[in-house]
Amino acid sequence: MATNITKIFLVLNSGSSSEKFSLYEGEDEVCSLYFEGIEEDGKKKFICTITRADGSEELIDKKWDSLDEAFKEAKAIFEKEGFINEAHPLDGILVRTPAAGKYFTQHHIADDETFVELEKAKLTYPLHVPGAIRGLKNAMAAFPGIPVLTMSDSEALTRDSRRDNDYALPAEVVEEFELARYGAHGSSYGFIIGKVKELGILADKMIVCHLGSGCSVTGFIDGEPAYTSMGETPLEGLMSSTRTGSIDPTIGALLGEKLGAEEAIKVMIKQSGLVALAGSSDMREIIAGAEEDDEKAAKAFDMFIDGVAGKIGEFAAKMGGVDAIVFTATIGERSFPVRNAIMDKLEFMGFKLRGDVSVDKSAGYANIAAEGSKPVYIIPTNEAAYMIKKASELLDAE
């Protein structure tokens, strides 16, 4: 059945202490609300910034005591702004649901089973799952009768083509906890590989680098995922803004024994990576510090570059070569110093950049490779567009 691209969706991103609502008509974002916590007189309050389609921002002159209250207010704000009404009802609410387990390798219309599976997923995602549960329950309460969908972060990566699904652990342990290298950033990879095919630039062996606040790399063979750097959770693989990346698992066990599992996971997810090494999670600040001979910043930058280049090299070896590389997400799309440093290490593989090149918005991508080099592309990602496409397909199939 054909997908109706004019549906109106509310895309929800529920953090542990924040809530973001993005309203889309088709694939066009028309308005967003961002609720975040602040300290006021020793108490936690929540404030809201509204961003309209023209990019203008406005801080709403009101504070809320909880995110649950904020959710109810979000509906009122959208209605007041004229984005939701009887003539323009919501078709669905999409909740990005980072969670491991077989159930969460697919998108679902939320029901009782969803909450049972989320409770099971708390074990490996204690910091993210509670936010998803809160978002789902609030969505159902605030918008009765509107389908609420859980959007998988690994669906686009869980394919028979994957060659790196399994962990070398006893079968009974794997089965009990449903352990597998599910991967993450699936909505980004799903969008990028779809865009690559649409543009007619698909190569036999492509490596896509999603470099943002979280970082991962995925290798594709004939347009299908073969290897990805994240595992059961996004902690595996590359170091990123605040995550450790792959470390000796004994360290995780020791932290768990000393701090408790949830606090240990929090340390590895929220307090590690670039911010632990350089005191900043912002790559721009780290690059500036490295240029000013800040040793910590330089070390953090070098470790980051080595990690990405090393993962590209690993996947190239596993795939028997690489024909093209794609950079996407905030750092991948915007940071020439990062791209340049990575590709300098890969010149022996036949890659070379031609300088700082910006993306032609009308084309939707740029080939930044020098003459004689294999292709190196910048392709801006659009995770919401992929989720909306998949949600439309799911609803149309009902």
Residue 11 pairs in a beta bridge with 22, 94
Structure tokens at 212: 């943002």
Residues ≥6 apart with Cβ < 8 Å to 271: 242
Side-chain half-sphere of 337: how many Cα atoms within 13 Å?
13
CA distance 259 to 284: 32
Sign of the C-alpha dihedral computed for residues 253, 259, 262 and 265 taken in this order? negative
Q: Which of 153, 164, 282, 294 is catalytic?
A: 153
Burial degree of 248 (CB within 10 A; 0-12, 13-18, 19+): exposed
42: left (phi over 0), alpha (psi -120 to 50) or beta: left
Contact 57, 51 (CB under 8 A): yes
Contact 90, 10 (CB under 8 A): yes
Structure tokens at 272: 């590690």
Integer CA distances (angstroms), 46 to 20, 73, 169, 175, 270, in order? 12, 12, 44, 41, 21
**Is residue 61 among the annotated active site residues?**
no
CA dihedral 368→153→235→212, nearest 10 degrees, is: 30
322: which DSSP letter? -
By annotation, the residues acting in catalysis are 153
